[in-house]
Amino acid sequence: MSQQEARYSIRALLLTALVSAIATVLALEVSGRIDHSDNKDHIPVGDFQAIHVTPDEAFRMSPKASELHAVCENGYLAIAADVDPSFRGILVDYKNRGVRCRRPSPTAASVPETREGAPSGND
């Protein structure tokens, strides 16, 4: 098929695809099908993986440090951003259970921990 026999040019097809994509997004936005949440309390801070480390087995890890750090928050491990330490999230497992900062003593009674400086209610 020669160039003269082509019904539509490549440029016209690409322009039609671009306009269609933009029109679809605008139609979904106007109809309210795209949800823009202002509540930032329940968004994930990041996706993490645990690497099983054994003494006789080497593991690979990036030499660059992440821009996150860990803090202990009410007995649970929280991940916070280096640029904004107030933006932090509690680390949870695949069943949404919190990861503790320290191992509980098997003989200690189950007493809920409180944030430093906050009254425990037992005073």
pLDDT in tens, 31-43: 988 887 777 666 6
Helix (H, G, I), strand (E, B) or coil at 92: strand
112 — pLDDT class (breaks 50, 70, 90): low
Asked if 90 and 78 count as a contact pair (C-beta separation under 8 A), the reply is: yes
d(CA 81, CA 95): 24
Q: Which of 7-11, 51-55, 90-94, 107-111 has the lowest mean pLDDT?
A: 107-111
pLDDT score recorded for residue 117: 43
35 alpha carbon, distance to own chain's centre: 18
pLDDT of residue 16: 96
Q: What is the C-alpha separation between 16 and 32, in angstroms, rounded?
A: 24
